[in-house]
Structure 1
C-alpha cells in the first residue's frame, strides 16, 4: 500500500463501522443527557489537549500559520462546543405545544429526539472546525456519528483517527479515512442524516446518494461571494477587511470574498487602497512571509493559474504561481468583466478580481444573475445603500463593513441558500439538523363527552356543524382589494 493511502480505512471495514455505530445507537446509551454532556466535553478536550499537534498537522497540510488555525479552527469550535454543552439539557426537554382550548385536555407536547446514525463528511479548508462542531451538534442530539475527514489533509485526518477513539465512546463515534472509493462506499450505506461540507459539484453527488435512501441532508457549500463598495465609503477599511478575507487561509474559506463590485470611476482609488494594505500585510513580500498559507494541492494551484492565464483583466500585483510549492501569491486583478475566467467559478484562492460597474443597480443585477452566494458583503456608511443591496439580493448572510467574521459569531447560524447549500453548521440550528420533532398527546376518555364525541358514526349533520365550527378559529379579515 502506498504511503499516500496507508492511512485509509480498508474497504471491507467500512460496513462494519457503520453497523457498529447503528448498534451502539440502538443500545440507547445516548438517551442519557449526562452521557451526551460527557462526550461533548471530551470533544473540547480532544482539541484543547492536542492544539500543538493540530497546528503542526495543518502547517504540513496547508502551510497554514498558527494564528489562522487558532482563529478559524480552534476559537469558533470552542464557542460552538460550549454552546452545545450548556444547552443540551434545555433543548432536549419535552415542551408544551401552543395552547388551544379545544385540544388542551390532550396535553399536546413536542420533543427534539435524535435521528439515529449520522455521517459527517468534512472539508480540507477548515478540517477541524467542520468536523468537531458538527460532531458536537450530533452528540447533543443523541446520535451515533461516523466522521469522514478530507483526504487532502492527510496529517490532520490521521490525527483525528488517532484521537477520536482515545477521547470518545468507541462504539458510538468512529472515523473512516480515505478518498473517493471510501467516500463512495460510505454513501452507498443508509444513514439517518448526512452532513457534508465541500464543493457544489461534490454536493450534488452526495445529494443524489442521499436521495436513494430518502436521507435528510445538510449541505454546506460555497459560491462566489461579492463585495459591493459604496464610492463614499472608507476605502482603506474596505480594502483591509476585504483583502484579509481573501488571503486568509490562502483564500480557501467558503465565506471568503470572491470579487469586488465598485463604480468604474472609483476603481483606481480603491485599487490604491488595496495596494497600501497589501504592502502592510507583506512588507518583505508574500513568498517569504510566515503569514500566508499554501493552497491544498498542486492541482488547485494549477487550476488557479489557468484562471489567471485566461483572464482578460489587468494584474495589479501578484500573479505568481509556483505549482510544485502550492504557492499562489496574493493577487489583485482590475478591469475584470462579468464573463471573465475569474468569474466563471469559485476561485478558492488568494486572487481578488475587481469588476467595475456603472452604479449599485448594475452591481445588484450582476449578483442576481448568478447563483445565490453564501454571503454578500457591502461597505458603506449609508444605511440606505446597505438596505438597497441586501433587500434586493439573496444569500446565506448579509454582512456590512466586514467579511468572513460572521462565521464565528455566536447566535448567527452559518448556512447557505440554493447553490450555496441548505441547512446550518453552527448554533442551535446545528443541533436542530441532527434532531427531529416528535409530537405526543394523551387524550383522556372524558374528552369525548365534552367535545369530541361527534367524530364517531352515525353522523348527525346539525351536531357535526356545531362542533366543527367550535374547533375552527375565526378567519382573518377579508382583504378589501386583492392584488
Structure 2
C-alpha cells in the first residue's frame, strides 16, 4: 500500500492562516478569478483521468469505466457548468417590497462564508472531495481539504496535483489520520463540509460547536427499497442489482434492504438471479467491471454479517462466494430477513441484499419509519389511480394499487425519494442532494453547494428623503403615532377552510 505523505501537525495552523490571509486580501472575490479556478479544476480531472483511474484501481479495484462515469466526468461537467452559471448565482437579488420601502434599495448580497474545511471519504474519494470544493470555489471561499487516508493512492495523487492546477494560497490539501484530523478540528473554520459516517460526524459536531461553526453532513444510512406487487419484477431486480453493484455496494445511496410482498418474494429472487447472470455470466468475483472491498477490516465485517444472519442465503448463482485474497464478495441475496437480524443493525456498505417480506403497505411503512430517516428511499410502483387514500391498509396488493406516490411521500421521511430506479437522482444536477436526521443535513450539487458556502447578506440604503415617513417613530408618541406604529396588530385575519371544524 502507498504511504501518504502526512502533513506535519505543526504545519496545519500555518496552512489555515495562509488560507485566511488569502481570503482577507480579497483574492477569491472576483468572479473571473473563481471561474478560472473552476475551469482549472475541470482541466485537472480531464488531463489526469488516467492517473485518477489508476489510483482508484489500486485503492478499490474500481473499474475504469465506473471511475470515468461516476467521478471524473461529473467533476469536469459540474466544474465547467458552475463557472458558466456563476454570474447568475452571484448576482445580487432585489426582493419585492412595499412601495414605501423601495427607495431603501433592499438587496440580498451573496457573500462567501470565508475559509472552509472539506473532509471527504474513501469510497468515492475523487468526486466527494472535489464536488464540495466546486461550491467553495464558486462561492469565493478558501478551503483546506482533508481526503481519506483509507484511499491512499488517490489522496496522495490529488495532493500532488492540486497545486499544479489551483492557486495554492487559496486551496491546500492536509493529509493524515486521526492526529491530523484532531488538529484541524481544534481550529476555527467558517464552515465544515463532511461526508462519511454518523460516528465521526458526532465528533465533528462537538468540535464545531466550540466555535459555532456551521456544518454540512452527508452521512448515508440504510436506504430501503419498496417493490409493489404489480411492478415488473425483472425490471425492478435489474435496476436494484445494478445499483447495489456500483462500487460493490460501497456508497451511501446503495439499496440497503428490499421490502416486497410476501407472495412475490420468490419471483423477485428469481428475477435477481436472471439479472446477475446477465451482468456477470462468469461470476462477479473475476469480473473486470466489479470492484473490491476497500480493506481487510471491511471484508471481515461483511463476512461476519453473512455468518451471523438468521435469513436464508439464496444459493445457486447469488450465494455470496468470496475471494479473500482480492477482497471480493459477490452480490449476495438473503431472503426472509426478520426485524432484529444482524443485516439490519447498521448500514451494510457492501454487496449484500437482505429481503424483508411483508403482508401490507402499512407494515412496510412501519418497518421503515421505526428506523432513522434514510438518505434515499426507493419505491418501485406504477400506480395508475393517482389518488390519496387515508383508510387503513388492505393486503399489500390491493393497498399498493389503490394508494399513490403521495402516500409514500406523506407517510415516510428521507433525504431523497426515487421512484422506479436507483442512483439516477445523482445525474440530475438541478436537484439538491441532502439527508435528513441521522442521514445528515446541508445541501450540495451545483448551485446547492454554492448556496451552502454563501451567506445571504441583507442590505438597505435609507435615503435622506425617507425622513418624512420615518418621523413618527421618534418619541414622544402621541395618539396618532401610536395608532400608526401599531397598525399591524389590528390587521384582519382571513378565515381558513378549517375554521369551525
Distance 1:72 1:10 in 2: 32
Structure 2 equivalent of residue 403 of structure 1: 422
Helix, strand or coil: the match of 2:100? coil
Distance 1:472 1:90 in 2: 39
Distance 1:169 1:314 in 2: 55
4+ residue runs over 6 A deviation:
none
Alignment of 1:289-328 (within 5 A): 289-316=287-314, 317-328=318-329
Alignment of 1:43-442 (within 5 A): 43-316=41-314, 317-383=318-384, 384-442=403-461
1:223-282 CA distance string (max 9 Å, x none): 110110001101111000100111110101111100100011110000000011011111
Structure 2 equivalent of residue 478 of structure 1: 495
2:117 and 2:193 in contact (8 A); partners too: yes
1:63 and 1:293 in contact (8 A); partners too: yes
Helix, strand or coil: the match of 1:214? coil
1:408-440 CA distance string (max 9 Å, x none): 212111111111110112131111000111111
CA deviation after TM superposition for structure 1 residue 468, in Å: 4.1
1:95-132 CA distance string (max 9 Å, x none): 21222123212111111100000000011111111111
1:113 and 1:437 in contact (8 A); partners too: yes
Unaligned runs of at least 5 residues, structure 1: none
Range 247-256 or range 381-390, more displaced = 381-390
1:42 and 1:167 in contact (8 A); partners too: yes
Distance 1:386 1:252 in 2: 28
- Change in CA separation of 1:253 and 1:473 when aligned onto 2, cut-off 3 Å: farther
Structure 1 equivalent of residue 398 of structure 2: none
Distance 2:491 2:78 in 1: 43
Unaligned runs of at least 5 residues, structure 2: 385-402
Distance 1:467 1:102 in 2: 15
Give the count of matched residue pairs: 479
Distance 2:269 2:312 in 1: 11
- Asked if 1:459 is matched to 2:460, the reply is no
CA deviation after TM superposition for structure 1 residue 467, in Å: 4.4
1:390-423 CA distance string (max 9 Å, x none): 3211111111110012112121111111111101
1:113 and 1:435 in contact (8 A); partners too: yes
Distance 1:404 1:331 in 2: 19
- Change in CA separation of 1:79 and 1:475 when aligned onto 2, cut-off 3 Å: farther
2:4 and 2:175 in contact (8 A); partners too: no
Structure 2 equivalent of residue 36 of structure 1: 34
1:341-388 CA distance string (max 9 Å, x none): 001100000110000111222111111111100111111121544332
Helix, strand or coil: the match of 1:29? coil
2:63 and 2:291 in contact (8 A); partners too: yes
2:296 and 2:327 in contact (8 A); partners too: yes
CA deviation after TM superposition for structure 1 residue 83, in Å: 2.8
- RMSD over aligned Cα, in angstroms? 1.6
Helix, strand or coil: the match of 1:102? helix
1:195 and 1:218 in contact (8 A); partners too: yes
- Asked if 1:445 is matched to 2:446, the reply is no
Partner residue of 1:7 out of 5, 23, 28: 5
Distance 1:482 1:209 in 2: 50
Distance 1:180 1:101 in 2: 57
Distance 1:399 1:385 in 2: 14
1:438-457 CA distance string (max 9 Å, x none): 111111122121x2111111
2:4 and 2:176 in contact (8 A); partners too: no
TM-score (ref. length: structure 1) = 0.96
2:2 and 2:153 in contact (8 A); partners too: no
Alignment of 1:13-28 (within 5 A): 13-28=11-26
2:285 and 2:323 in contact (8 A); partners too: no
